[in-house]
Amino acid sequence: MDTTYSHQNTLLVVDDKHDNLKLLLAFLNTAGFNVLVAENGQKGIEIATLAHPDMILLDVMMQNMDGFKVCQHLKSQADTQDIPIIFMTALTHLDDKVKGFKLGAADYITKPLQLEEVLARVNVHLSLRQLQQQLSVQNQLLQKEVAERQQSEQALKTAHERFITILEGLEAAVYVTDMQTYEILFVNKHIDQLVNNNELLGKVCWQVFHSTQTSPCTFCSPNQIMTGKGQPTSAYHWEYQNPDTQGWFYIQGRAIRWIDGLWVRLEVATDITERKQAEEALRANEERFDLAMRGANEGLWDWNLEKNEVYYSPRWKQILGYGEQELSSHPTEFFERLHPDDIPQSREKVTAYFERKIPHYEITVRLQHKQGHYVWILSRGIAVWNEQGKALRMVGTHMDLTAQKQTEDALSQAKKAAEIANRAKTAFLANMSHELRTPLNAILGYAQLFKRDKTLNAKQQESIAVIQRSGEYLLTLISDVLDVSKIEANRMELFPVEFDFKHFINEINELFLMRSKQKGIDFHYQFITQLPTVIQADETRLRQIIINLLSNAVKFTKQGEVIFKVGSTQASSSHFPNWKIRFQVEDTGIGIASEELYKIFKPFQQVGERNYQMQGTGLGLAISQKLVEMMGGQLHVESTLGEGSTFWMELDLREVSSKGQLESIDKPVMIGISGPSPKILVVDDQGENRSILSHLLTPLGFEVFKACDGEEGVELATQIQPDAILMDLVMPEMDGFEATRQIRKIPQLKDVVIIAISANVFELDQQNSIKAGCDDFIAKP
């Protein structure tokens, strides 16, 4: 429909080009619109806020504040956000239009402007706005009508529910009997609650309720319910127990006129079985409470708040060292004996309970004993309230906690002592680990250097190999002792990472192919099922477990073979995102006697031949079992003495999505440097360590610079600007953490590669080095 709107509609034109404003002003005025103009964005916002135009024609390309910002501001304000905005722009790129529409624009007009198109689009959007306003009004009317209808329906529903509630609540049995003949004239549907016989009409009431009687009850006599003048007395009542159900009923009745003026007895029976049971339960509870109080040996107090008097039981007094006849009945007997530090909280607790701010009263306080010392007391109580919510009485108990508190204090002291001992043990082990790893770094480092020396003869090379094996054994021992310490202190943690699972397995296979070949036994890897490519797990700890199992198998096998099997017992799916992977190690070694199997997972326990017991500490399997349990699995073993053993475990390992899979890349072996020699800065306070790294790197073509502490390392790094820095963490004066932070502040060195090298191998030290700015961590040796 073609609709042209008159001067009743106000348009705001915002354009920093005077000619555009003049043209649109003249044209739109001629078309019958009231036109406001603004020569910049800020002015446009002010006019729009004050005048509330029906539509805004907004230029995009303006100085200081462009049309997009103006639109964004207007749409963010409640009083201008509903005004339609049409952008006028020479920008024709799709991204500009999308940006405008996202900001809330209603339309776009491309410059140069076609006046007829401007008028057509203005009329269309004004029409749309009018329709939207009309629709809004209609929606409001409709919502009002719906709300009124819902209220009516709710009122009807409430009335219906009230009526149903009344009917359901009327559960009393009602019956009417002839006062002269005692015949039952009427019963309601609930009479079966009272008696079991439903065919009651016409029967004599006293035979129904008292089947053993041959005459009416005394209170059934008309003389009992009628006066001498023939008028009914006040209502009467009696209790009746159903002999079959054992239910109790409270029956109320009185004489009334019935049909044809006949006097009858109208009686209503209310089930009071629960009340009777409650009364019996209360009696039993009172008896049990009396017995419990005697058995628990607790003191009882009863505070009459209206009289402000307290009854203190003999036991209450005895707890504080007083006799039965001592102490008055005044509340001050309690409050005056309170420890000074407990008085404020005691009064606050009582006040809060009386004001219903807390559901119950319970507090632990100290009361002074007759002999002067203080006794720990657990005081509990409940109040009795009247209809106005005022407490009338409060009853409670006192329990002597002195012995318990002494025990708790002793346990607390013991716990603190244990924590101090554990911290001291951890610190000692960490220090010992650092002190032992530091010389091992030199021993193993120089062993590696000497093995490269081609001038050494075979005997010398074998001696170097013995030094290296001994150092590696000592390093393994140190690591195992640290792991056991972490396990005992419950400080062992897992650090899952994503890694190439197949590459991980292949590395282990290559290692044990070499070890088995050196010993003269066969090693086989069996790929049982399809395996995930990339998984998430603690790669270091998983490797530690598998290598420990395979190392034991190789060590205890004199001849025959070791078989390493890996396969999945459950592949990942939409219902189960993890793979259940089984790792199994079989050997034909010496085996384990069944009666000694329980020992193998205990620390420092070894079984088997004495020659084998001398090889190792007996820590590996204990550590492995704990690590497997932390990963959610269990380490199992089957063994036959003289035939071999089988160890296996099943772990749930999460597969990494294919989008994030790591690429398997063969790690190259470095044999030298191509091009200019990279500069390597070694920062270490130990000369031996600096020397080892220098001898390792220089033959490969690196130019090595050395600094003996963190401060010198920062200065030297600033001077030479190395390609990489090997940073020791534990140094006097400025340590490696601070040195790394200082280097990262230097603009020219903020991206230099820094690798932490330390004999402190705790995970926390590794994490702190990364936080300080290191790119990686290498443990010594």
In sequence order, what are the residues at sequence separation of 6 or more whose Cβ sits closer than 8 angstroms to the Cβ of residue 760?
430, 433, 434, 729, 730
The pTM score is 0.44
Same domain for 639 and 521: yes
Which residues, listed in sequence order, are joined to residue 269 by a DSSP beta bridge? Answer: 173, 251
Same domain for 645 and 508: yes
In sequence order, what are the residues at sequence separation of 6 or more whose Cβ sits closer than 8 angstroms to the Cβ of residue 339?
365, 366, 367, 368, 374
CB < 8 Å & 24+ apart, contacts of 761-765: 761/433, 761/437, 761/479, 761/482, 762/430, 762/482, 763/493, 763/495, 765/729
Domain presence at residue 542: yes
In sequence order, what are the residues at sequence separation of 6 or more whose Cβ sits closer than 8 angstroms to the Cβ of residue 8?
34
Tell me the CA end-to-end span of the chain in Å, nearest whole number.
Answer: 87
pLDDT, residue 767, reads 85
Q: Phi and psi for 30 in degrees, rounded to 5?
A: -60, -35
As a whole number of angstroms, the distance between CA 380 and CA 677 comes to 81
**Rounded to whole angstroms, what are the CA distances from 423 to 434, 485, 491?**
16, 11, 11
DSSP letter at 496 equals -
DSSP letter at 218 equals G
In sequence order, what are the residues at sequence separation of 6 or more whose Cβ sits closer than 8 angstroms to the Cβ of residue 24?
13, 15, 35, 37, 57, 113, 118
Contact 736, 710 (CB under 8 A): yes
As a whole number of angstroms, the distance between CA 345 and CA 337 comes to 14
As a whole number of angstroms, the distance between CA 560 and CA 38 comes to 96
Q: Phi and psi for 7 in degrees, rounded to 5?
A: -65, -10
Q: Phi and psi for 401 in degrees, rounded to 5?
A: -105, 10
Same domain for 234 and 133: no
| Alpha helices by DSSP H, 677-755 | 687-697, 710-720, 736-744
Nearest to 429 by CA among 761, 781, 769: 761
Q: Phi and psi for 458 in degrees, rounded to 5?
A: -60, -40
DSSP letter at 65 equals S
Domain edge (last residue) among 483, 505, 528: 483
As a whole number of angstroms, the distance between CA 269 and CA 187 comes to 11
Which stretches of the chain drop beneath a pLDDT of 50?
1-7, 160, 163-168, 228, 610-614, 659-660, 664-665
Domain edge (last residue) among 660, 689, 706: 660
The structure tokens listed for 689 are: 């360590």
Same domain for 586 and 523: yes
Cβ-based burial of 469 (10 A; exposed 0-12, middle 13-18, buried ≥19): exposed
The structure tokens listed for 685 are: 């306070």
The structure tokens listed for 296 are: 């628990």
Domain presence at residue 165: no
pLDDT, residue 400, reads 83
Return the CATH number at 116. 3.40.50.2300
Nearest to 602 by CA among 624, 627, 622, 625: 622
Strands 85-89 and 107-110: parallel
Q: What is the pLDDT of residues 375-403, one digit of tens each?
A: 888 888 888 888 888 888 888 888 888 88
pLDDT, residue 196, reads 66
**Rounded to whole angstroms, what are the CA distances from 531 to 503, 524, 536, 629?**
12, 18, 13, 22
As a whole number of angstroms, the distance between CA 79 and CA 216 comes to 88
Return the CATH number at 451. 1.10.287.130
Tell me how long the chain is.
781
Domain edge (last residue) among 483, 513, 531: 483
Cβ-based burial of 551 (10 A; exposed 0-12, middle 13-18, buried ≥19): middle
Q: What is the pLDDT of residues 148-160, one digit of tens each?
A: 888 866 775 665 4
What domain range includes position 272?
A: 173-276
Same domain for 185 and 122: no
Strands 374-385 and 391-400: antiparallel
As a whole number of angstroms, the distance between CA 235 and CA 253 comes to 6
Domain presence at residue 111: yes
As a whole number of angstroms, the distance between CA 725 and CA 735 comes to 14
As a whole number of angstroms, the distance between CA 757 and CA 779 comes to 6
State which amino acid sits at residue 255.
A
pLDDT, residue 749, reads 92
Same domain for 411 and 392: no
As a whole number of angstroms, the distance between CA 106 and CA 112 comes to 19
Return the CATH number at 355. 3.30.450.20
Domain presence at residue 695: yes
Contact 727, 713 (CB under 8 A): yes
Same domain for 193 and 321: no
The rounded Cα 365 to chain-centroid distance in angstroms is 35
Contact 337, 436 (CB under 8 A): no
Same domain for 375 and 412: no
pLDDT, residue 583, reads 96
As a whole number of angstroms, the distance between CA 382 and CA 196 comes to 43
Helix, strand, coil percentages in the chain from 3-state DSSP, rounded to 5? 45, 25, 30
Number of continuous H segments (helices) and E segments (strands) in the chain: 21, 27
Residue position matching structure tokens 């996202």: 102
Cβ atoms within 10 Å, residue 317: 19
Domain presence at residue 1: no
Domain presence at residue 167: no
Same domain for 502 and 450: no
Same domain for 390 and 497: no
> Strands across the sheet with 236-241, in order?
184-187, 173-178, 263-271, 248-257, 236-241
Strands 10-14 and 55-59: parallel
Domain presence at residue 603: yes
What secondary structure does DSSP assign to 71-127, as a single string?
HHHHHHSTTTTTS-EEEEES---HHHHHHHHHHT--EEEESSP-HHHHHHHHHHHHH
Same domain for 413 and 394: no
pLDDT, residue 296, reads 59
Angle (nearest 5°) at CA 290 between 285 and 296: 115
Domain presence at residue 214: yes
pLDDT, residue 425, reads 67
Which residues, listed in sequence order, are joined to residue 563 by a DSSP beta bridge? Answer: 524, 586
Contact 264, 258 (CB under 8 A): yes
As a whole number of angstroms, the distance between CA 422 and CA 420 comes to 5
Nearest to 45 by CA among 17, 20, 67: 67
Same domain for 353 and 254: no
Strands 644-655 and 578-587: antiparallel
- Say how many domains are in the chain: 6
Contact 383, 356 (CB under 8 A): no
